[in-house]
Amino acid sequence: MRLLTLFLLFVVALPVFAQQQGVELANLTWVEAEKALGGDQVVVIPLGAGSKEHGPHLRLDNDYQLAEYFKRRVLAASNVVVAPTITYHYYPAFLEYPGSTHLRQETARDVVVDIVNSLSPYGPRRFYVLNTGVSTLMPLKASAEALATAGLLMRYTDVLTIATTAEATVRQQTEGTHADEIETSMMLYIAPERVDMRKAAKDISPREGGRGGLTRVQGRGVGRFSSTGIYGDATLATRAKGRVVVEAMVAGMLREIEDLRKAPLPSR
């Protein structure tokens, strides 16, 4: 009976493996990696915080789970080499909530630059950071600019724009960008077992002082007060909304990767 179960699982999984077009760098030997990285290959680098607060209803590895999901979708649909996921980067807005981790902006910039500079001598000149954060956009821009001076082309996902039209069709909350209606809906679609909707909340407060991240201290004059770590209305989240947004993001990422594949390299 056990052998039969294993056989059935293998048969069910066959179409998934058959459809996969890309390869994961970590699963190769160096001999195989030399062949995979040769030529005009696009290297995808997933980026998702391994430990960053996402309210009381989502887990600290929420961004990592998103990055891993998008990585699998890209692997299945695009002929790319996918490097290991980066789990530390620039997340200054969440440090008042235990478990959140953060790198300085310069460090975050250099982490990506060093990874790309490590891989480019083997052949690839085009890199795509599969980005799942908002605060990461600024150091990623700096990384791309630094790499361009060496003739390397690096692009990255802008989560604020890649699925704007799709989000507009499902969004009900008046405002929000973190652990909110949209992000919670995405997780309900991707990994519903990692969402506790009983603890979802609406938490929208005005920003004080015009700057700063989320803060647990009300009236301090800096940041946006949030007792939950949420900015938005997570109670409005549904799996159906998540499907609309996630599928739009996947389509956008695949489109950007193909555009990158054909884009001219920057001059040194």
- CB-CB contact of 123 with 42 (8 Å): no
Measured between alpha carbons, how far is 156 from 124 in angstroms, rounded to an integer?
16
Residues of the chain with confidence (pLDDT) below 50: 2-18
pLDDT (0 to 100) of residue 91? 97
Per-residue confidence (pLDDT) for residue 19, from 0 to 100: 60
DSSP SS3 for 126: strand
Q: What pLDDT, on the 0 to 100 scale, is given for residue 220?
A: 81
Q: Please, what are the domains in the chain? A: 22-262 (3.40.50.10310)
Output 29-34 pairs: Cβ under 8 A, ≥24 positions apart.
33/122, 34/122
- What is the model's pLDDT at position 219? 85
pLDDT at 38: 87
Number of H helices, E strands in the chain: 8, 10
Strand duo 207-208 + 223-225: pairing:
antiparallel
- Euclidean distance between CA atoms 183 and 205, whole angstroms: 18
Handedness of CA 190, 194, 198, 200 (dihedral sign): negative
